[in-house]
Amino acid sequence: MKHLLMLSLVLVFSKSYSQSDSEKLPYYEIPKASETFTAGTVAARAIDGLGFRFYWATEGLREDDLNFRPNDDARSTLETIDHIYDLSRMIANCALKKDNAKKDTDKPEDFEGLRKATLLNLQLASNIFKKTEDVGEFKLIFEKYEVEFWTLIHGPIEDAVWHCGQVALLRRSSGNPFNSKVSVFSGRLQD
């Protein structure tokens, strides 16, 4: 009996530790909305919505989920997450006014690293845009050309939202559905 009690306590504490560890990543909940409407706060809110969706689409993925692909021509879940990371890097580079053509030498190679880096890229961009009145100063920069900020919205941001939906669908198909307590409407977990 004593061993059973000890085992139960260890399991409870290890579960609490793992939950609090993952909660340290941004977007467990969507951040509080800005009290003012500017082009920058609206852009930041779109990025925060993406971050929240990505957090929960990728929370609790197993190895089987990451390797799942619906057919030979489709991306696996991990390949889709890798693509979302690339899009998050473009979003962060726009906020930092950095060239996207430069090789990403810091790209994580594992799922946990990609997930964390993606969430941090989105948080970084959101924080910069929240403080910005005129988003017109930001452009997607490539080696030989630049494109207007509008392209960031209908390009990388919306593409990443699209792919978060794919991750949610892929994980359902691999037998590990999206947490039903997540409300994308409120940006919180429901009780």
Number of C-alpha atoms within 13 angstroms, CB side, residue 89?
Answer: 20
Q: How far is the CA of 191 from the CAs of 122, 179, 182, 188, in angstroms?
A: 27, 12, 9, 9
Residue 25 CA to residue 116 CA, distance in Å, equals: 7
pLDDT, one tens digit for every residue, the chain (191 residues): 554 444 444 444 444 444 455 449 999 999 999 999 999 999 999 999 999 999 999 999 999 999 999 999 999 999 999 999 999 999 999 999 999 988 888 999 999 999 999 999 999 999 999 999 899 999 999 999 999 999 999 999 999 999 999 999 999 999 999 999 999 999 999 98
Contact (CB, 8 A) for 27 and 57: no
The 8 Å CB, 24+ separation contacts for 63-67 are: 64/174, 64/175, 64/176, 65/170, 65/171, 65/174, 65/175, 65/176, 66/111
Domains (ranges, CATH) in the chain? 43-175 (1.20.120.450)
